[in-house]
Amino acid sequence: MHFSLNDQAVNNFKAHSTIASLNGRDYTVMRPGVLYPGVWGWDAAFYSLGLTWSFDLNRGLDELTVSSLGQCANGMIPHILFYDAEVAREQYYPAPNVWENQSASGLPVSGISQPPVFASALHKIREIAKHKGDSASIDENKERFEQLFQVAMRYHKWWYDERDIDQIGLVATVHPWETGRDNACEWHDALARIKGTRDYIDFPFDPAVRKDIRINRKGQSTVAYRPSNDEYKMFTYLLMKFKDNEYSLKNVDGEYRTDFPFMVYDVTVNAWLQASNLALFALADHYGDKDDKALIRKWIRRTGRSFNLLWNKIDKTYQSYDILIKKVTGVSCNASFMPLLFEQKESRVYTLMETLTEWRSKYHFKYMVPSSLPSHLDYDEDCYWRGPVWTIMNAVIAYGFNASAKRFENPDFATKAQKLANEIIEIIAQDGEFYEYHNPVTGEGCGAPDFGFTSVAYLIAKDIVENPVFGGLDRCIRR
Ligand code: 2M8
Helix (H) or strand (E) holding 21: strand 17-22
> Is the CB of residue 215 less than 8 Å from the CB of residue 175?
no
Three-state secondary structure of 433-464: CCCCEECCCCCCEECCCCCHHHHHHHHHHHHH
| pLDDT tens figures, 119-173 | 999 999 999 999 999 999 999 999 999 999 999 999 999 999 999 999 999 999 9
pLDDT confidence band for 477 (50 / 70 / 90): very low
Q: Is the pLDDT of residue 470 over 80?
A: no
Residue with the nearest Cα to atom 3 of ligand 1? 177
Q: Measured between alpha carbons, how far is 316 from 325 in angstroms, rounded to an integer?
A: 21
CA of 389 from ligand 1 middle (Å) equals: 15
Confirm or reject: Cβ of 13 under 6 Å from ligand 1.
no
Helix (H) or strand (E) holding 414: helix 411-431
Q: Measured between alpha carbons, how far is 315 from 329 in angstroms, rounded to an integer?
A: 11
Q: Measured between alpha carbons, how far is 16 from 252 in angstroms, rounded to an integer?
A: 42
Ligand 1 pocket test target in 30, 39, 40, 223 with most atoms within 8 Å of CB? 40
Mean pLDDT of 346-358: 98
Q: Measured between alpha carbons, how far is 420 from 398 in angstroms, rounded to an integer?
A: 6
Res 313: pLDDT: 97
Q: How many CB atoms lie within 10 A of CB 104?
A: 16
Sheet of 80-81, strand order:
39-40, 80-81, 108-109, 101-102
| pLDDT tens figures, 375-408 | 999 999 999 999 999 999 999 999 999 999 999 9
Q: Do the bridges between strand 25-30 and strand 101-102 make them parallel or antiparallel, or are there none, so unpaired? A: unpaired
Share of the chain residues as helix, strand and coil, in percent rounded to the nearest 5 = 55, 10, 35
| pLDDT tens figures, 412-456 | 999 999 999 999 999 999 989 999 999 999 999 998 889 999 999
Name 351's Cβ contacts closer than 8 Å, sequence gap at least 6.
Answer: 316
Mean pLDDT of 107-115: 98
Beta-strand runs (E) in 31-162: 39-40, 80-81, 101-102, 108-109
Confirm or reject: Cβ of 232 under 6 Å from ligand 1.
no
Confirm or reject: Cβ of 370 under 6 Å from ligand 1.
no
Q: Is the pLDDT of residue 472 over 80?
A: no
| pLDDT tens figures, 267-299 | 999 999 999 999 999 999 999 999 999 999 999
Amino acid at 12: N
Confirm or reject: Cβ of 79 under 6 Å from ligand 1.
yes
| Torsion angles phi and psi, residue 20, rounded to 5 | -120, 130
Q: Measured between alpha carbons, how far is 126 from 57 in angstroms, rounded to an integer?
A: 8
Q: Measured between alpha carbons, how far is 35 from 32 in angstroms, rounded to an integer?
A: 8
Q: Is the pLDDT of residue 198 over 90?
A: yes
Eight-class DSSP state of 222: G
Q: How many CB atoms lie within 10 A of CB 134?
A: 16
Q: Measured between alpha carbons, how far is 354 from 325 in angstroms, rounded to an integer?
A: 29
Query: Radius of gyration (Cα) for the chain, nearest Å?
Result: 21
pLDDT confidence band for 471 (50 / 70 / 90): low
pLDDT confidence band for 217 (50 / 70 / 90): confident
**How distant, in Å, are the alpha carbons of 177, 230, 241 from that of 201?**
21, 11, 14
Ligand 1 pocket test target in 177, 212, 228 with most atoms within 8 Å of CB? 177
CA of 43 from ligand 1 middle (Å) equals: 9
Amino acid at 7: D
Q: Measured between alpha carbons, how far is 406 from 191 in angstroms, rounded to an integer?
A: 40
Beta-strand runs (E) in 50-138: 80-81, 101-102, 108-109
> Is the CB of residue 370 less than 8 Å from the CB of residue 433?
no
Nearest ligand 1 atom, CA 384: 10
> Any long-range contacts for 295-303 (C-beta under 8 Å, 24+ apart)?
295/153, 295/157, 296/153, 296/156, 299/156, 299/160, 299/169, 299/273, 300/274, 301/169, 302/164, 302/168, 302/169, 303/169, 303/170, 303/270, 303/273, 303/274, 303/277
Q: Is the pLDDT of residue 474 over 80?
A: no
Res 223: pLDDT: 85
Confirm or reject: Cβ of 307 under 6 Å from ligand 1.
no
> Is the CB of residue 392 less than 8 Å from the CB of residue 424?
no
CA of 425 from ligand 1 middle (Å) equals: 22
Confirm or reject: Cβ of 182 under 6 Å from ligand 1.
yes
> Is the CB of residue 458 less than 8 Å from the CB of residue 391?
yes
Dump the DSSP string for 157-206: HHIIIII-TTSSS---B-SHHHHT-TT-GGGHHHHHHHHTSHHHHT----
For the entire predicted model, the pTM comes to 0.96
Res 395: pLDDT: 98
> For the chain, what's the residue count?
479
CA of 44 from ligand 1 middle (Å) equals: 12
Confirm or reject: Cβ of 42 under 6 Å from ligand 1.
yes
Q: Measured between alpha carbons, how far is 398 from 334 in angstroms, rounded to an integer?
A: 12
Question: pLDDT > 70: what percent of the chain?
Answer: 97
Residue with the nearest Cα to atom 8 of ligand 1? 36
Nearest ligand 1 atom, CA 181: 12
Residue with the nearest Cα to atom 12 of ligand 1? 180
Mean pLDDT of 62-71: 98
Q: Measured between alpha carbons, how far is 202 from 89 in angstroms, rounded to an integer?
A: 26
